[in-house]
């Protein structure tokens, strides 16, 4: 690939998809900044605010497998541009909504509209760039996208002081629609022809892989929890527990977002170099998980450290998707990239939804004093999440965890790829012709 051709691909493929992921990250984290405005303007309680913010993750997670199939079948250009138009309509509805239900529907539309933001970008890298550069470009993609989290702090705070959150979402709606048109207009089409020696491009190939079930719980509990915390609960913690005023809060959120962006670049470079030396990306994932758990325990146990340090580690953990998707690239061939990344993202965003929503419900069990929850409420909510992350790390690290993952990988999963698969399954039940092998290689 010549230099001029490389820069042409960066301009026509990489940057448009990076812009879509940037908007996705901005939508994901903006509620941490406007939470107090939403509560005062619409009367939302803590549990309602948690559900409103987390429904983004729920819809996002639900859409990942269908989106992965669509990406593999129709390509990232068409799928991403159509979905971003839906996100633009959701942002427009959010800007004019006055009640909880309409806000919830609008937030769900945004979540569905940006559901392909990352996986479409990763798929485009697989299709257009050399395989050995994939981890590095994934890191740059997530680094540029995570600048949306930076925008959702001090820059957005200045805009809020000038125009209010409703006008801000009107601008986001227009920017999202423009990005959808840009992707459709400038990104070229390219279809990858599966190798005849590769495994069939079905979701059963993903869910039947024992290595997927070994690493996916660890990636999901750590990355999803980091998104949940930075996307919403960091702000109430810093206000209620640390006692920060509005200016200090925005400043710390800005630092976390900058660290987040730098972490994506760092992970991309690290994975790129260690893979050239024959070291697996799983090692980096385990180290990140250990540091993330330690940072959360530092917060929960109120260790005598400036809170910006553990919160920065929390932010960095949210970019460990760079590592996780590098692992997926080692496990599966290019024609399965959309499905494999989508399957993992189901767990990422599904866990983010559960963690974000459950945290709000747990915090509601304690009464507030002058609008602030006690530290014990946060310790219980955060501590439960940490316990599950430790369990996932043990599952990943110990030999019996690998054994159990191999047994799960042997389960003959049925995931319908089309209506014909559903009909075939029903007929097979009627004929009582289903046979399940007992060995590790069992398939339908």
Token duo for residue 219: 């990636």
Mean pLDDT of the chain: 82
To the nearest 10°, the Cα dihedral for 112, 117, 119, 125? 160
Can you tell me the distance from the alpha carbon of 191 to that of 118, in angstroms, rounded to the nearest whole number? 19
Joined together, the tokens standing for residue 203 give 């979701």
* pLDDT level of residue 73 (50, 70, 90 thresholds): confident
In a domain, 406, yes or no: yes
How far apart (Å, rounded) are the C-alpha atoms in residues 150 and 29? 9
Rounded to the nearest 10 degrees, the angle between the axes of helix 134-151 and helix 246-276 is: 180
Query: Of 337 and 311, which is predicted with more confidence?
Result: 311
Q: Which pLDDT belongs to residue 36?
A: 79
419 assigned to some structural domain:
no
Residue 174 in any domain: the answer is: yes
Q: Is residue 435 part of a domain?
A: no
pLDDT tens, residue by residue, 223-276: 999 988 987 889 889 999 998 988 898 889 889 888 888 888 888 788 878 877
For the residues of 134-165, what is the DSSP string, one character each? HHHHHHHHHHHHHHHHHHTTHHHHHHHHHH-H
In a domain, 401, yes or no: yes
178-233: per-residue pLDDT in tens?
999 999 999 988 755 554 444 455 667 777 788 888 899 999 999 999 988 987 88
Residue 150 has pLDDT above 70, yes or no: yes
Can you give the CATH number for the domain in which 345 is found?
1.20.1250.20
Q: How many domains does the chain have?
A: 1
pTM value surpassing 0.75: no
In a domain, 194, yes or no: no
pLDDT reported for residue 193: 52
Q: Summarize pLDDT for 367-417 with one digit per residue, the tens.
A: 878 778 899 999 999 999 999 999 999 999 886 556 555 656 555 544 444
State which residues form the domain around 151.
9-189+203-410
Any domain includes 43: yes
141 domain-assigned: yes
């Amino acid at each position: 690939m010549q230099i001029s051709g490389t820069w042409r691909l960066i301009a026509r493929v990489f940057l448009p998809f990076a812009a879509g992921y940037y908007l996705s990250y901005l939508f994901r984290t903006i509620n941490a900044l406007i939470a107090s405005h939403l509560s005062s303007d619409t009367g939302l309680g803590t549990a309602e605010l948690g559900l409103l913010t987390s429904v983004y993750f729920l819809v996002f997670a639900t859409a990942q497998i269908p989106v992965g199939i669509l990406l593999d079948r129709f390509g990232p250009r068409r799928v991403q541009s159509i979905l971003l138009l839906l996100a633009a309509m959701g942002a427009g509805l959010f800007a004019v909504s006055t009640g909880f239900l309409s806000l919830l529907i609008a937030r769900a539309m945004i979540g569905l509209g940006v559901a392909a933001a990352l996986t479409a970008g990763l798929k485009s890298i697989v299709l257009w760039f050399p395989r050995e550069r994939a981890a590095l470009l994934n890191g740059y993609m997530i680094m540029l996208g995570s600048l949306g989290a930076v925008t959702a702090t001090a820059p957005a705070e200045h805009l809020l002081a000038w125009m209010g959150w409703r006008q801000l979402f009107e601008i986001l709606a227009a920017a999202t629609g423009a990005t959808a048109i840009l992707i459709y207009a400038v990104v070229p089409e390219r279809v990858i022809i599966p190798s005849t020696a590769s495994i069939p491009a079905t979701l059963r190939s993903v869910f039947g892989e024992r290595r997927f079930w070994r690493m996916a719980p660890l990636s999901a509990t750590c990355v999803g929890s980091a998104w949940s915390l930075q996307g919403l609960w960091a702000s109430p913690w810093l206000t209620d527990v640390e006692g920060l005023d509005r200016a200090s809060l925005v400043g710390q959120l800005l630092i976390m977002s900058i660290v987040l962006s730098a972490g994506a670049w760092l992970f991309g470079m690290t994975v790129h170099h260690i893979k050239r030396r024959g070291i697996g990306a799983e090692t980096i994932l385990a180290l990140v998980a250990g540091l993330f758990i330690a940072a959360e325990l530092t917060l929960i146990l109120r260790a005598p450290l400036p809170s910006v340090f553990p919160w920065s580690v929390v932010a960095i953990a949210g970019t460990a998707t760079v590592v996780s998707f590098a692992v997926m690239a080692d496990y599966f061939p290019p024609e399965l990239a959309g499905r494999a990344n989508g399957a993992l993202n189901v767990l990422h965003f599904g866990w983010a939804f559960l963690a974000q929503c459950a945290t709000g419900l747990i915090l509601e069990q304690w009464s507030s004093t002058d609008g602030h929850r006690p530290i014990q409420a946060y310790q219980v909510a955060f501590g439960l999440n940490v316990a599950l992350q430790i369990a996932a790390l043990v599952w990943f690290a110990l030999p019996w965890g690998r054994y159990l993952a191999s047994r799960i990988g042997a389960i003959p999963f049925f995931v319908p790829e089309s209506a014909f698969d559903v009909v075939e399954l029903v007929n097979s039940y009627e004929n009582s012709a289903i046979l399940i092998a007992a060995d590790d290689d069992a398939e339908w």
